[in-house]
Chains A and B, each alone.
Chain A
């Protein structure tokens, strides 16, 4: 395991370097002078010159990258032009909200997806199976941001059960109950597509496993069907499911940007969007870098977990 871990960590280095280059280039892709673009047409020449010097734009590109990297490695992601504050602090505050949303969605989609998959596999062609099949077809074709609006119309506008947007009510009591009531719609929206994917994978893996000899043996021993499905089959079906749950976590992190916009959730996605529209490049860079970093580290964690669950992977 130690050797496998070392190899995986070494493989991470070129990927992280590549990610940093891509994030760095975001600022420099723009045709024309980034300083002029950031300041807009009203800016004086002096302002532009000062910003160019502040951002180090008057230096050669590789030098700029090295300087930027040196700062990033020390935890300095620069200062937001719009908010005039260090980017890292702002991103981390907002990231908390994104993490709450993503983690809840991941929990919902894994629990819901696995439960649906097991139920469908245990009783193929039952009503649950048919419904989950229908859901999986819809899930892959439905724009998540539209689903969010539909849920908002149904549950906030028509039924009035849940708040339509934000993380806490403006005049509400705050606290956990308030947060949870605001969290339901965005989390369900974000989790929907992933739930159907996890359910489909769990269903097909379970169906394969339920046909195997050891399951027949377990049944022949006289075990009740529930024990066979949950204790014998599900445990074996979980290994491939872990991988797909891991992959989904990454997609949820990306999808959160859209969901946050629909529900005005104060996460890093909405922060990044504000940064883009205000042409606040250091802020955008910071947001992209932090999300990508978490994504890469999460993928690594999933790979390690997978290797832990299935020893064959380590010796490949």
Chain B
């Protein structure tokens, strides 16, 4: 479901919202902090294989969260995995946003042929189930994290293009645009100085909700073996290899999934809070 339509924590009216946002903020601070500071944290090397101590349960001496099938420290792999997963989410959502805003802005402003071409392009891309198109693109480019990110960014831009086009279509008829034009502003100035600032709030909200969806998508591709390649740790690929050992030691699969879940949940809650902050009308909606 598109993150624009699905606003899960909106339903959480009854729980004190600030506390919820605070908790979500805390989770994100820990995740981002761990990801940024990974090289300096007192954790083991995430790639060092130690076969004799493989599949140790959480709480084992020296391995707070246990070890995986090669005896690698789970905590270290989760922390280093956060770097890959968070970066992938941020980068793909940002790339989708840039492409989508650029195309949507021009489609809405110029109309006519530009609009038709852009809209038909988004129609075609949206004629595929989201993950299928991403898989198809990775199939062509070859498995790997960069290619998976390129695929997800391509698949994600129609959402922004449509959002921005719709906004621009209504904005371009407004008086302030007419006034700017009457004053002799060029199209470039109108697009940049008058229209773009109006798009900021809705686009930032869409983006903040999208980062979580993109983390899920990247993890999904890695889970299928099409994203991050071994031995690099990312949460999706950790889950993929853990699948084989889930019967023996459930923790190897449960922990990376829990990390994805908590981070995406927090991002969704924060995205909602941001939307309420930027659009006060919704507070009473």
Residues of A within 8 A of B (CB): 14-15, 18-19, 21-23, 25-31, 37, 125, 133, 136-143, 145-146, 149-150, 152-153, 157, 164, 193, 196-197, 200, 247-248, 250-251, 253-255, 257-258, 261-262, 272-273, 275-277, 281, 284, 288, 291-292, 295-296, 299
Contact = CB atoms under 8 A, between A and B. Distances in A.
A29 B140 contact: yes
Residue in B121, B137, B220 whose Cβ sees the most chain A Cβ within 10 Å: B220
A275 B212 CA distance: 29
Interface string B110-147: 00000000001101110111111101111111110000
Given A14-B120, A157-B247, 9 more contacts: A29-B140, A140-B1, A141-B268, A143-B264, A146-B261, A251-B130, A258-B131, A272-B139, A277-B225
A232 to B, nearest CB: 25
Nearest to B141: A29
Contacts of B139: 26, 272, 275-276, 281, 284, 288
Residue in B127, B243, B261 whose Cβ sees the most chain A Cβ within 10 Å: B127
Given A141-B8, A251-B1, A288-B132, A149 B127 contact: no
Given A18-B123, A292-B132, A133 B212 contact: no
Nearest to A19: B127
Interface of B: 1, 6, 8-9, 11-12, 14, 120-121, 123-125, 127-133, 135-143, 212, 216, 219-220, 223-226, 236, 239, 242-243, 246-247, 250, 253-254, 256-258, 260-261, 264-265, 268
Nearest to A132: B11
A14 B239 CA distance: 39
15 contacts: A19-B128, A22-B125, A22-B128, A26-B136, A29-B141, A137-B12, A137-B265, A138-B261, A141-B268, A143-B223, A143-B260, A149-B253, A251-B129, A254-B130, A284-B136
Contact of B135 (A37, A137, A272): A272
B8 A153 contact: no
Contacts of B216: 141, 143
A31 B141 CA distance: 7
- In the complex, the 7 A-B pairs of residues with the closest C-beta atoms, listed nearest first: A254-B129, A146-B257, A29-B140, A18-B124, A141-B265, A141-B264, A140-B8
A255 B131 contact: yes
B137 A26 contact: yes
A139 B132 contact: no
Contact of A197 (B6, B128, B247): B6
Nearest to B217: A143
B143 A276 contact: yes
A150 B254 CA distance: 7
A18 B9 CA distance: 37
B240 to A, nearest CB: 9
A29 B260 contact: no
Nearest to A25: B140
A236 to B, nearest CB: 21
